Amino acid sequence: MKHVVIVGGGFAGLHCALKLASRPEVRVTLLDKNNYQQFQPLLYQVASALLAPNNAAFPLRDVLHRAANVDVKMAEVVSADLAARAVRTCDGQTYQGDYLLLAAGSEVNFFKTPGAKEHALPLYSLRDAEVIQSRLLEALEAADREPSLADKGGLTAVVVGAGPTGTEMAGALEDALQRMDRGLYKNVNLSKAKVYLVDMVHHVLSAFSPKSQSYAARKLAERGVELRLGSAVKEVTATHVLLEDGSQIRARIVIWAGGLKASTLAGHLGVIQGHGGRLDVEPDFTVKGFPGVYALGDFANIAGKDGRALPQLASVAQQAGRYSAAHIIGQIDGKPPKPFEYFDKGIMAMVGRDAAVAEVGEHRHELTGPIAFAAWLGVHAALLTTTRARIGSAMDWAWDYFGHGRGEQILDRPSGHAFSWGEEDERQSTA
Ligand SMILES: Cc1cc2nc3c(=O)[nH]c(=O)nc-3n(C[C@H](O)[C@H](O)[C@H](O)COP(=O)(O)OP(=O)(O)OC[C@H]3O[C@@H](n4cnc5c(N)ncnc54)[C@H](O)[C@@H]3O)c2cc1C
C-alpha cells in the first residue's frame, strides 16, 4: 500500500487528501499544526468583529471523518529530508512516505519595516484575526472608560496594504464601527474612530482594472476610510505609523496586510527558495531533483499557461491539490500524467457590506455592486469543503449581509495591552 504524507491541511493539502480518500489502496497521513482548516476569505470579517471565529474554520477530523484511509495528525513539521520523502515534527516524530506533498501555505512578510513585527498585527491566520478582533474590542472598552483616548488615536486603525485583504479589512472595519454605533458603547464618540488604508502604490486593488479600482476607492471613501496612497510605511511604533512622505498617523491599531511569503518551513528544507520564499516547482508540482516530492498552493511558485506565476489564491491551491492527487494516482496506476490546467474563475473583493468588485473568468468580465457580491458568494461557497459548511456559512453571510446585527462583542482574549499614552506618545500627529 502506497503512503502519501501531506504537510498542511489548507486548500491545497485538504483537497489532495479528499481526492485520495476515494482510493482505499492509498494510505494518507495529513499533518497540520492546527486541527482545523482556516477559511482565509472570511478572516477579515472575524478581525472586524462581524463574524465569530468558528464561522471561519472547519475541523479537519470532521471534514475527513468518512475517509477511512486518511489519518489526521495535529503536528508542526519543522524539517524534512526530501531525498527520503520524510518530515520531522516539533515533538521529534518522523513521517516517511512514498510521496510527500508540501502545502504549508504562507505567512506574513513585514519586508523588514522597522517596528512592524513588534507593533503591527498581521492578518493571515485565524489566530491573527482573533487577536485583531480582541484589539478592536479592547480599544472600544478602553475608550468607554476614558473617552479622551479617542482624541489620542485610541480608536484609529491603520490598515497597511491596499490589496484585496487590506481593502476588505478597511471596508469591514468601517462597517463594524457603524454597527457598533448603536448605543453599545455609551461613552464613546464613534465619530472619532478613524480607519486609514495606506499603500506605497497609487491605487487600491492593484491587480484589478482601473474601473474596479476607482469603484472600490469611491466606496471606501463613502464609508469614511481615508486613503493614503503612494507612500510606503517607513516605521511602525506603539503609537504611530510613519510614512515615507514624512507624515505620521497616530494609531493604536495597525493591521498589516502588506505582503506574504512562504511559511517558515520552506527555509528548513535544504533547497533554494524562489520568489516570495516559495519553492519553484516543475509543471507537475514536483520539486526538481526530488521525485515523489510535491510543493503546491501558497508554498510554491506555480507557472500558469503564459509561464508567469499564478497568484496566491484559494482556487489555485484547491485545483493544485486535486491535480497532485490525480498525478499520484496516475503514477500508481501507471497512466501518463496530464498537464495542469488552471480554471480561472477571476478575482474579486468585498469592499463593504453593499459593495464588491469582481472580474469574472479568464477574460475578466467586470462587475460591481450586488451582482459582484453574488459572484463573490458563489465562488467562495464553492471553496468550502463540505455541503454542511456551504449551507451554514451561506446562512451566516446572508444574515450578516441583510441583517442588522451588532457583530461580535465578547472579548475573550484580552492582550493585557494598556491603552494609556505616555510622554513618548506626545509628538504631534500630522494626520
Ligand atoms: C486574509 C486573507 C484573505 C484571503 N482571501 C482570499 C479570497 O477571498 N479568495 C481567494 O481565492 N484567496 C484568498 N486568500 C488566499 C488563500 O487563502 C490562499 O491562497 C490559500 O489559503 C492557499 O492555500 P494553501 O493550502 O496553500 O495554504 P493554507 O490554506 O494557508 O494552508 C496551509 C496549512 O499549512 C499549515 N501549516 C503551516 N505550516 C505548517 C507546519 N510547519 N507544519 C504543519 N502544518 C503547517 C497551516 O496550519 C495551514 O492549515 C486570502 C488570504 C488571506 C491571508
- Mean pLDDT of the region 53-62: 89
- Does 90 score more than 80 pLDDT? yes
Which residue do the cell numbers 527555509 mark? 267
User: Pocket of ligand 1, candidates 5, 11, 107, 169: which has the most ligand atoms within 8 Å of its Cβ, to mutate?
Assistant: 11
Quick one: average pLDDT of 410-418? 62
Kind of pairing, strands 253-256 and 121-122? Answer: parallel
* C-alpha span between 126 and 253 (Å, rounded): 18
CA distances in angstroms from 164 to 2, 190, 384, listed in the order given: 40, 26, 19
Q: Is 194 helix (H, G, I), strand (E, B) or coil?
A: strand
> What is the Å distance from ligand 1's center to 12 Cα?
8
Strands (E), 166-274: 194-199, 226-229, 233-236, 240-243, 248-250, 253-256, 260-262
Query: With bands split at pLDDT 50, 70 and 90, how would you rate the model's confidence at 250?
Result: very high
265-305 confidence digits (pLDDT tens): 999 999 999 999 999 999 999 999 999 999 999 999 999 88
Q: Which residue's C-alpha cell is 488552471?
A: 342
Q: Is the pLDDT of residue 111 over 80?
A: yes
Mean of the pLDDT values across residues 64-76?
Answer: 96
Tell me what pLDDT residue 372 has. Answer: 84
Q: How far apart are CA 218 and CA 204, in angstroms?
A: 10
Of the chain, the percentage scoring pLDDT greater than 90 comes to 69
Nearest ligand 1 atom to alpha carbon 75: 43
Atom of ligand 1 nearest to the CA of 14: 25
Spacing, Cα 410 to ligand 1 middle (Å): 26
Mutation test of ligand 1: which of 18, 40, 205 has the most ligand atoms closer than 8 Å to its C-beta?
40
Q: How is residue 60 written as a grid cell?
A: 479537519
For residue 78, the ligand 1 atom closest to its alpha carbon is 41
Res. 431 pLDDT band, cuts 50 70 90: very low
Distance 347 CA to ligand 1 centre (A): 16
> In this predicted model, what pLDDT tens digit does every residue of 33-42 receive, in sequence order?
999 999 999 8
Confidence of residue 407 (pLDDT cuts 50, 70, 90): low
Distance, in Å, from the CA atom of 2 to the CA atom of 333, rounded to the nearest integer, reads 11
**Averaged confidence pLDDT in the chain:** 89
Helices 370-383 and 314-333 cross at an angle (nearest 10°) of 30
Ligand 1 interacting residues, C-beta cut-off 6 A: 7-13, 31-34, 40-41, 43-44, 76-77, 103-106, 123-124, 165, 263, 265, 297-299, 312-315, 317
Instruction: Identify the helix (H) or strand (E) that includes residue 118.
Output: helix 116-119
pLDDT of residue 403: 58
Q: How far is the CA of 147 from the centre of ligand 1 (A)?
A: 38
83: its cell numbers = 531525498
3-state secondary structure of 55: helix
- For residue 98, count other CB atoms closer than 10 A to its CB: 16
Is 359 catalytic? The answer is no
Q: How far is the centre of ligand 1, averaged over its atoms, from the C-alpha of 9 (Å)? A: 9
Q: How confident is the model at residue 73 (pLDDT cuts 50, 70, 90)?
A: very high
The strand pairing partners of 194, in sequence order, are 156
